């Protein structure tokens, strides 16, 4: 079996990630830069899934450690 070093997320991996993510609050973000919904300060992207079908990213607030999902508002382009 050939192994590749390509860093892509398989569909299986993606769905298990998205399953875990369903526990987190989702925010539709159309403003940049993304800020924490709790305190309004800048956040850190800890997971980037914009290249997948989910079109989302996981953010964590640097201030209060609040974790949430940023999802792109499809109608805002």
Q: Closest separation between CB of residue 67 and Zn ion, Å?
A: 10
What are the φ and ψ backbone dihedral angles of 73, each rounded to 5 degrees?
Answer: -75, 110
Q: Which two tokens stand for residue 34?
A: 């993304």
Q: Which residue stretch of 4-12, 23-31, 34-42, 49-57 sits at the interface with Zn ion (rule: CB under 5 A)? A: 34-42
Q: Is the Cβ–Cβ distance between 72 and 61 less than 8 Å?
A: no
Q: Does 39 bind Zn ion (CB under 5 A)?
A: yes
Residue from 13, 30, 50, 63 binding Zn ion (CB under 5 A): 63
Computed on alpha carbons and rounded to an integer, the radius of gyration of the chain in Å comes to 14
Summarize as ranges the residues that interact with Zn ion (CB under 5 A).
Answer: 36, 38-39, 61, 63-64, 66
């Amino acid at each position: 079996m050939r192994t590749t070093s390509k860093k892509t997320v398989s569909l299986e991996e993606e769905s298990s990630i998205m399953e875990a993510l369903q526990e987190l609050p989702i925010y539709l973000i159309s403003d940049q830069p993304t800020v924490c919904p709790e305190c309004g300060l800048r956040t850190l992207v800890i997971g980037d899934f914009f290249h997948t079908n989910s079109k989302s990213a996981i953010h964590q607030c640097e201030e209060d450690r609040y974790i949430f999902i940023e999802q792109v508002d499809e109608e805002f382009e």
